[in-house]
Amino acid sequence: MSDFSPGQRWISDGEAELGLGTILNCDNRSVTVLFGASQETRTYSSRQAPLTRVVFGSGDRIQSTDGWHLIVDDSKEANGLITYIGENEQGELCELPEAKLADTMQFDQARDRLLTGQVDRNDWFDLRFRTLHHHHRVEQNPALGLAGPRVDLIPHQLYIADEVARRPSPRVLLADEVGLGKTIEAGLILHRLLLTGRAERALILVPASLTHQWLVELLRRFSLEVTLLDEQQSLAHGDANPFEAGQLILASQDWLFADPHRQAQAEACDWDLLIVDEAHHLEWSEERVGPGYACVERLAGSVPGILLLTATPEQMGQESHFTRLRLLDPDRYHSLADFQEEERHYIEVAEAIDALERLPGQEEDRQRVAAVIHEADSQALLDTLASSESDAAQRDAARDQLRDQLLDRHGTGRVMFRNSRRHVGGFPERRLHVDHLEPPAAYRRVLRRLSRDEDYLDELLIESGLDHPEVLVYLDTMYRALANDPLNAEPWWQIDPRVTWLLERLTELGDDKVLVIAHDRETAIGLSEGLRVLGGMHAPVFHEGLSLVERDRAAAAFADEEEGCQVLVCSEIGSEGRNFQFCHHLVMFDLPLHPDQLEQRIGRLDRIGQRHPIEMHVPVFTDSPGERLLRWYRDGMDAFSAPHGLGSDIYAAFGDALADALLDEEALEEVIDETRSFFESRLAERDAGRNRLLELNACRHERAEAVISSIHELDTDRALRRYIDQALDIFGVDSQDLGGDIQLLQPSPQMLDGLPGLVKGEEGFSATFSRERALARDDVQHLSWEHPLTREMMARILEGSMGNTALALLKHPSIPGGRLMAELVFRTHCPAPKRLHLNRFLPPTAVRVLLDESGANLTDKISFSGLSKNLNKVKKAVARDLIKSRHDQLRELLDRAETEAERELPSIVEAAQDRMRTALDAELARLEALARRNPSVREDELTALRDERATLDAAIEGTRLRLDAVRVIVTVDEDSR
């Protein structure tokens, strides 16, 4: 006879999400079920139907099709159909026939699934428990979000990322010297904010020439997939806002800043973070507000987090620099005059910090410190430090704290971070090679006339249509501009000896790669042609006239180690942001006019990862304006030896005088002398004041070391390998050892769908747990707790029902067969807005309870792993029968376990509150003290932190425990099969 009767309620074992099914008809061969909630009908063979009868017992809460609920007290059966008896919400006694049960009732909770006989594999349960355990650990690691990216652990970057990402709304200027890793810092901050839930949507605006590089860096180093938006992509979205097309949008500044409609669309979206690279281009002055500045300013009005990146913050002048700071914090930076006045006192603060190191000692050192501190807490620390009664440990602690306070309260550190090569160390030497060439007749003619005839310059400017002093410095440009002159009929590269000079250099350098930068796009194009025609050399060009794809193709052709070209010829756009540190020869075919631009050029090669001295080759024409410009750079400010950060000040002070001196040897000597003394005194002043504070603040080594050590802890976590192996196995991912600590991960035919980077029928990817290997091999991913695959597997388990029920057999010589045990895992539940990152204080926490059938609590006596390794799996059908036969007993155990688990809750809540209060109270105290002294602490930062504390407090207070998973254990006799 069939087990089924029409009207009975069953659920599908494999597709529980279909909801509650109703038997429509059945005979000896088949049974047809309607799943009303999902409007699906299924027909199964009667003998092997993967269905479980839904039977509720006393205490269960069930729902009727009309929406009312009943707490089951009893049931009766007639003609194979059950009617439940119990109380409704009003306390009235009611009956609910099973046919009237709501189709939408879900059975994904552990209790329901277990009691309806749905059991998962035993190893899934195991993995679920371990996932909770590891998730709990990892979420609290202070380096969360910084450990996964495939980057070297460079202290100044990690310090900045840690410091900035912990702020409620990070708004900072990342202004490390060129090539020290601002992109990496921004990536780390973004990654951490995303992983901790503090940000979900980010807009990244970069110069067009850098879009692809950013796209690749974010994917390769941070496993972040961003949507690259351009006009073509945007058009494909029709009337919809294209900026809603993804969570992380990357767009070119050139495109967005030129299009008011697209800007309005970008502004209409909700962003958590805005990143703007090469932010010195955001130009502002009384007379003119650049479109980029205007656009970013509007966005900055509503986006809470902003990262502006530039190596040369003052390139467009101090006013522009100040207005960018104002954009980050309008309350703090409201007056340029105040800003400049404040800067004048940086030296005193820096001297006070130095004096700390000498205390206790001279009275004048104590006074120096006393003169800059104002708060009672700082005064108390100074007393401790200066007192002869303090012991060494007390003094050291006071010195450290006071140093931190001075830096925090008096510098620009909270808004601007600037690391320098000098401070970071380990960078290669820069070597300048200048070759003097005779100018060709066509250039000589013009230069000679210029030196004889004072009026000729004006004539030349009109005739060529060029600006002063460009017309003097870029002689090939001038030559092309005068193309109507019959004497200038030949292409410039035919007559310009720098082309053959370059060919000779390239031959001498053999296989070494050479980056060539020229100021003008036409120069780059002509030079490439000249190299081809005169030397048979293929030299790809990189300039603003090419499409993005063409530019990237050219850069890729150069970068290819095996088959790539020896040389790449760039116009000035190749001198910003690009990574060319795989080569160490830079040819400056001519020189830029702004010292910051020169620094940007050298920075293409002189960046993290460069392993050789930088060889800079500059051809100049004897006695030419170009040669004089070189001398100004070299003798006036040592511009070729190291970055000095004074380019903008020097340019503002001497740019005009230099332009006038380019044709006048005597005047030039004077300009060089004046530039030199200005440079030296300004540098000394900066080094003693602003630079010193910026350096001290840009990387606090103890903090950086603490972050690095937390990352090491995650990197070397042996549990990670075990966990990933187990998870891959369960999710159906094959892992093959390729040697050298590298494994190939491939989808098996049984793989669960939707795992990142793995698609059935496709190849998969190779990965390693070793950071060093991942850094050495671009094609190998870094497997960590933060890798998208790990996170996805963990999320699936934690958010879904996978493994939340199981049944296993236990054979043990000292335990007789036929006994029942229940192992229950409860999980803390504490809803709070994601952006509060509550997990750092109270990540979902597991409370395990192990009961024997009498209800005795065995949790402390038998550990999870001790028990787990003695368990044997059992067929699902057998498991279902066992559960059915022990239904009432299980129900009682579930209730009892809940009471046992609840006992643990107060201590969990208390510990979390302690953690939260300790961390936030300290942060609040620090910020309040800072705010009293340093107006760069915004009031809204303080308010946000106070609100955060209050909300977290309430959320933690409201923590509840929920049953997350349950495993039934049935003991069997040793000799039973």
Residues in contact with ligand ATP by CB under 6 A are 151-152, 154, 157, 176, 178-184, 311, 577, 579, 603, 607-609
- Report, in Å, the least distance between residue 601 CB and ligand ATP: 10
Pure H helices in 732-807: 771-776, 788-799
What's the closest the beta carbon of residue 537 comes to ligand ATP, in angstroms?
A: 27
Select 181 or 592, whichever has its Cβ closest to ligand ATP.
181
- Backbone CA torsion sign across 358, 360, 361, 364: positive
178 marked ligand binding residue: yes
Query: Is 383 a known ligand-binding residue?
Result: no
Nearer to ligand ATP, 154 or 555 (CB): 154
Per DSSP (E only), the strands in 356-429 are 416-417
Residue placing its CB nearer to ligand ATP in the complex, 114 or 161:
161
Instruction: Using DSSP, state whether 25 is helix, strand or coil.
Output: strand
CB of 310 to ligand ATP, least distance (A): 8
Cβ closest to ligand ATP, residue 122 vs residue 211: 211
Nearer to ligand ATP, 315 or 839 (CB): 315
Is 59 annotated to bind a ligand? Reply is no
Residue 1 contacts by C-beta under 8 Å, 6 or more apart in sequence?
A: none
Q: How far apart are CA 26 and CA 641, in angstroms?
A: 89
And the tokens for 389?
Answer: 């009664």
Outline where 662-787 has alpha helix (H): 665-688, 690-698, 701-715, 718-731, 771-776
Bridge partners of residue 204, in order along the sequence: 250, 275
Letter for the amino acid at 485?
D
Q: To the nearest whole angstrom, how small is the minimum distance from the Cβ of residue 736 to ligand ATP?
A: 28
* Beta-strand pair 614-621/585-588: parallel
CB of 442 to ligand ATP, least distance (A): 36
Q: What angle do CA 806, 812, 818 make, to 5 degrees?
A: 65
Nearest distance in Å: CB 609, ligand ATP: 5
Closest to ligand ATP by CB, 782 or 840? 782
| 226 annotated to a ligand binding site | no
Q: Is 429 known as a binding-site position?
A: no
Question: Assign residue 830 a region: left if phi > 0, alpha if psi is -120 to 50, beta otherwise?
Answer: beta
Task: Give the single-character DSSP code of 52.
Answer: E
* CB of 305 or CB of 574, closer to ligand ATP: 574
Q: Can you count the helices (H) and strands (E) in the chain?
A: 39, 31
Between the CA atoms of 411, 276, 180 and 509, what dihedral angle is there, to the nearest 10 degrees?
Answer: -150
Torsions phi, psi of 747, nearest 5? -70, 135
* Shortest CB 179 distance to ligand ATP, Å: 5
The first and second tokens of residue 723, run together, are 């966990």
116 near 883, Cβ under 8 Å? Answer: no
Establish whether 183 is an annotated binding residue. Answer: yes
Q: Which is nearer to ligand ATP, 668 or 767 (CB)?
A: 767
Nearer to ligand ATP, 613 or 831 (CB): 613
Helix segments in 79-237, DSSP class H: 110-115, 122-140, 155-165, 182-195, 211-222, 231-236
**Residue among 423, 406, 403 at smallest CA distance from 358:** 403
574 is in an annotated binding site: no
Least distance between ligand ATP and beta carbon 210 (Å): 8
Environment class of residue 919 by beta-carbon count within 10 Å: exposed (0-12), middle (13-18) or buried (19+)? Answer: middle
Q: Mark out the alpha helices in 141-230 (DSSP H runs).
A: 155-165, 182-195, 211-222
Find out whether 380 and 138 touch, Cβ atoms under 8 Å: no
Helices 441-452 and 456-464: crossing angle in degrees, nearest 10, is: 130
Closer Cβ to ligand ATP, 21 or 179, answer by number:
179
CB of 477 to ligand ATP, least distance (A): 26
Q: Which is nearer to ligand ATP, 22 or 579 (CB)?
A: 579
Would the annotation count 181 as a binding residue? yes
Q: How far is the CB of 176 from ligand ATP (least distance, A)?
A: 5
Q: Minimum distance from CB of 776 to ligand ATP (Å)?
A: 11
Annotated binding site for ATP: 176-183
Annotated binding site: 176-183
